[in-house]
Amino acid sequence: MAVTSFQTLRNPPSQKLNKRVLIRLRTDIPVGAAGVDSVYTQPRMRWARIDPVGTATYTAAAQTDKAITHRVCMRHIEGVTDSHEIVHRQHVYRVQRGAPLAGESDYTIIEVEQLQ
């Protein structure tokens, strides 16, 4: 089965958005003298497509201290920053950056790093 690149995909058919994901804002707050606790707010559920990146993309991103392991495509969404995480089942992804897919405002492509 051929892998379709996000760059060549203008408007993915809705059946390609086949993963139900949670987008949440992560805020770390101090606890005690040296501890930190994470608080999650602004939960939003979306249908998305999650694809691993190729080795060239991973290597290039690692050289800039922004590890990119996957790309997530979903219908247009505003306000997703590198303070957000995307959760799909037991996997947690830290958002690195997002942009409109193919320069249009119908879909958003988000580059993420898989944490677990």
Residue showing tokens 């920053």: 81
Percentage of the chain exceeding pLDDT 90: 55
Mind listing the pLDDT tens digit for each residue in 26-49?
Answer: 999 998 888 899 999 999 999 999
Q: Whole-prediction pTM value? A: 0.78
Q: What is the mean pLDDT of residues 2-19?
A: 63
Comparison of pLDDT for 74 and 105, the residue scoring more:
74
User: What gap in Å lies between CA 73 and CA 32, rounded to an integer?
Assistant: 39
CB 17 within 8 A of CB 47: yes
Q: Dihedral of CA 13/16/17/18: which sign?
A: positive
Q: Residues 94, 9, 99, CA angle at the centre, nearest 5°?
A: 40
